A and B are shown apart, each in its own frame.
Chain A
């Protein structure tokens, strides 16, 4: 598919921001200032960026416990997220939400539910309101394959279909719920087929390819703006990190090494390497800009976390909380 260098670089930048933010969380977490469960999206960045880079600000969405990527890709502010992670009153959810409940209503990121699949019926309501209040806005619900273990997954599909509500259900299928495989949880593990059972149109797309995700989402959303019907997009993703906790299994962003790998075609499941490889192949002139993104974004993001860290320390001068000892592991 044809992707302009401008769109390609924008997608790359957004994915690198998400990756850099989560790497910074991993670095900062041992200081025990960021507390609470963190569910990383490393390896799943292309799903969030692919879908949400085709949306408008007035398309409202709901996310899940694994919401960092969705929040950032929908246009949530980085400073608001960093402050929220540090539990500061200036956080995007005033310190009430933490990692699992980021929100940016102005950007259409209405919140995130950490109980499966709570996001889906809420998004049906967002879609219902969109249909009432707007000519062509839509709603988006992110969920994982774990959500399809639950009955409400099917209630939401049926309700959206019977009421003809324009909601795009994006199911990020990493085939893992905590650490249990999809085949061990669902007698019929084909997620797209579950939508078909309700007469809801669906597509499946490879989640390591941001441009493929973007292409599929753009086509589905364009149709929904006109036909005002629900649809389901199954994005096959790889969870390149633990279910929960600041543990990434992917090497940290390294501009030179990543460019090298994408030249060699040694890109594995990593959506950022896939994006780089395609971008440089189709738009060789953009390589310098790619290098800048890979070099500059982590620096900017780290500076933001340093600011958050200092703000936390300043806030704690008043509250004098003592950091608890580190846990033996981050397993659930």
Chain B
């Protein structure tokens, strides 16, 4: 189905197809771009986001690699400082813990250590395998670890169109950019522009207009916030929703502008509550000298490691019902 809004035509597709299209676009238009991933030739690889790329663009530019995350990231750093545009696709963000030396000590620090004579335009995509019993080491949400580090950019796309546009922006960026993709954003169809263009990094997206409370979301929690906002609307509470898109750089201006109007704030993070997105946003709000009329609400997964059992897992993640209750109590 093709929908027309303004002059741009759109086609409905899910996240995997949008990312495949963005990858094809990048590979077709920029000879510096290449992809490497463990299992890239597997038809189901990375939930289908890289499916068919090797056939279309050759195994010189889309190739399978051994399981060695640190060396692979280092190879990306070396290729990036040589002027190429490497894209390293890691099947889980948890596996990137093996690559922290290259991500933090090399990719993030190389520009600074060389007096900014070298740039590291490396893109790393990694999946958060939330749900379906993935347990502690396959469902981690570790974006805040990376966001703490100067020199890195951390992108948390909220859907198909966002993912494609932010991926193209990551390729244009001269910094190392991590795109962390939560499983919850896969499988949802939405209109994606036929002509893909990069979206700005560090500029939040205004998702919904409202005056009673600001809901700041990332990744799948933007969709969650929209559901919550719908329920709140039934109760006469109008929510303003921002999709941060990137947590480093963080569009604190957009958050502060909204909070200045609503004077209430809830942050919807996919990760743990401690030292997370809500903490960082609170710092900006407090440093801007803004005052809230009600306590902050931070919506998170529980402060523990993800269990496998579907019974335990149900209690691990926040629910719309409990969140609506929390917000309603605050706005009344």
Determine the chain B residues whose CB is within 8 A of the CB of A189 once the complex forms. none
Determine the chain A residues whose CB is within 8 A of the CB of B114 once the complex forms. 93-94, 96-97, 101, 103, 105, 110-111
How far apart are A48's CB and chain B's nearest CB, in angstroms? 19
Q: Is the CB of A103 within 8 A of B84?
A: no
Q: Which residue of B lies closest to A106 (CB)?
A: B117
Q: Is the CB of A152 within 8 A of B115?
A: no
Point out which of B60, B71, B77, B78 has the most chain A C-beta atoms below 10 A from its C-beta: B78
Q: Is the CB of A92 within 8 A of B115?
A: yes
Q: Is A276 an interface residue (CB 8 A)?
A: no
* CB-CB under 8 A for A159 and B72, given A118-B102, A129-B79: yes
Q: How far is the CA of A125 from the CA of B71 in the complex (A)?
A: 9
Within 8 A of A (CB), among B52-88: 60, 63, 65-66, 68, 70-84, 86
Determine the chain B residues whose CB is within 8 A of the CB of A151 once the complex forms. 70
Determine the chain B residues whose CB is within 8 A of the CB of A110 once the complex forms. 78, 81-82, 114, 118
Q: Is A168 an interface residue (CB 8 A)?
A: no
Determine the chain B residues whose CB is within 8 A of the CB of A132 once the complex forms. 34, 60, 84
Q: Is B15 an interface residue (CB 8 A)?
A: no
Q: What 0/1 pattern do residues 177 to 197 of A give for CB contact below 8 A with B?
A: 000000000000000000000
Q: Is the CB of B118 within 8 A of A103?
A: yes
Q: What 0/1 pattern do residues 115 to 129 of A give for CB contact below 8 A with B?
A: 100101111111111
Q: Is A60 an interface residue (CB 8 A)?
A: yes
How far apart are A136's CB and chain B's nearest CB, in angstroms? 15
Q: Is the CB of A118 within 8 A of B105?
A: yes
Q: How far is the CA of A110 from the CA of B81 in the complex (A)?
A: 8
How far apart are A327's CB and chain B's nearest CB, in angstroms? 24
Determine the chain B residues whose CB is within 8 A of the CB of A91 once the complex forms. 115
How many of B's residues come within 8 Å of A, CB to CB? Answer: 34
Within 8 A of B (CB), among A272-316: none
Determine the chain B residues whose CB is within 8 A of the CB of A159 once the complex forms. 65-66, 68, 71-72, 75
Point out which of A94, A151, A155 has the most chain B C-beta atoms below 10 A from its C-beta: A155
Q: How far is the CA of A35 from the CA of B281 in the complex (A)?
A: 38
Q: How far is the CA of A132 from the CA of B73 in the complex (A)?
A: 18
Determine the chain B residues whose CB is within 8 A of the CB of A96 once the complex forms. 112-116
Q: Is the CB of B118 within 8 A of A111?
A: yes
* CB-CB under 8 A for A97 and B113, given A113-B105, A125-B79, A159-B71: yes
Looking at chain A's contact residues, is the secondary structure mostly helix, strand, loop, or mixed? helix
Determine the chain A residues whose CB is within 8 A of the CB of B113 once the complex forms. 93, 96-97, 101, 103, 111
Q: Is the CB of A124 within 8 A of B117?
A: no
Q: Which residue of A lies closest to B114 (CB)?
A: A103
Contact of A124 among B74, B101, B105 (CB under 8 A): B74
Q: Which residue of B lies closest to A104 (CB)?
A: B117
Within 8 A of B (CB), among A137-163: 139, 151-152, 155-156, 158-159, 162-163
Q: Is B21 an interface residue (CB 8 A)?
A: no
* CB-CB under 8 A for A93 and B101, given A125-B82, A126-B81, A155-B68: no
Q: Is A133 an interface residue (CB 8 A)?
A: yes
Contact of A155 among B71, B106, B118 (CB under 8 A): B71
Q: What 0/1 pattern do residues 238 to 276 of A give for CB contact below 8 A with B?
A: 000000000000000000000000000000000000000
Q: Is A232 an interface residue (CB 8 A)?
A: no
Q: Is the CB of B115 within 8 A of A97?
A: yes
Q: Is A95 an interface residue (CB 8 A)?
A: yes
Q: Is the CB of B115 within 8 A of A103?
A: yes
Determine the chain B residues whose CB is within 8 A of the CB of A120 once the complex forms. 71, 74
Q: How far is the CA of A276 from the CA of B46 in the complex (A)?
A: 60
Q: Is B110 an interface residue (CB 8 A)?
A: yes
Q: Which residue of B lies closest to A110 (CB)?
A: B81
Determine the chain B residues whose CB is within 8 A of the CB of A94 once the complex forms. 114-117
Determine the chain A residues whose CB is within 8 A of the CB of B75 once the complex forms. 121-122, 124-125, 128, 159
Point out which of A118, A125, A126, A127 has the most chain B C-beta atoms below 10 A from its C-beta: A125
Q: Is the CB of B68 within 8 A of A118?
A: no
How far apart are A15's CB and chain B's nearest CB, in angstroms? 26
Point out which of A92, A110, A121, A129 has the most chain B C-beta atoms below 10 A from its C-beta: A121
How far apart are A113's CB and chain B's nearest CB, in angstroms? 6
Contact of A152 among B70, B82, B83, B116 (CB under 8 A): B70
Q: Is A69 an interface residue (CB 8 A)?
A: no
How far apart are B35's CB and chain A's nearest CB, in angstroms? 13
Q: Is the CB of A152 within 8 A of B117?
A: no
Contact of B106 among A95, A113, A130 (CB under 8 A): A113
Q: Which residue of A lies closest to B106 (CB)?
A: A118
Determine the chain A residues whose CB is within 8 A of the CB of B73 once the complex forms. 121
Q: Is A217 an interface residue (CB 8 A)?
A: no
Q: Which residue of A lies closest to B107 (CB)?
A: A122
Determine the chain A residues whose CB is within 8 A of the CB of B82 once the complex forms. 60, 110, 125-126, 129-130, 133
Q: Is A62 an interface residue (CB 8 A)?
A: yes
Q: How far is the CA of A265 from the CA of B110 in the complex (A)?
A: 45
Q: How far is the CA of A284 from the CA of B167 in the complex (A)?
A: 65
Q: How far is the CA of A105 from the CA of B114 in the complex (A)?
A: 9
Q: What 0/1 pattern do residues 76 to 117 of A give for CB contact below 8 A with B?
A: 000000000000000111111100010101000011010100
Contact of A105 among B72, B78, B86, B117 (CB under 8 A): B117
Q: A93-B117, A156-B71 are in contact. List 11 more A-B contacts (CB 8 A).
A: A62-B78, A91-B115, A95-B115, A97-B113, A97-B114, A121-B74, A122-B75, A124-B75, A125-B86, A128-B84, A159-B75
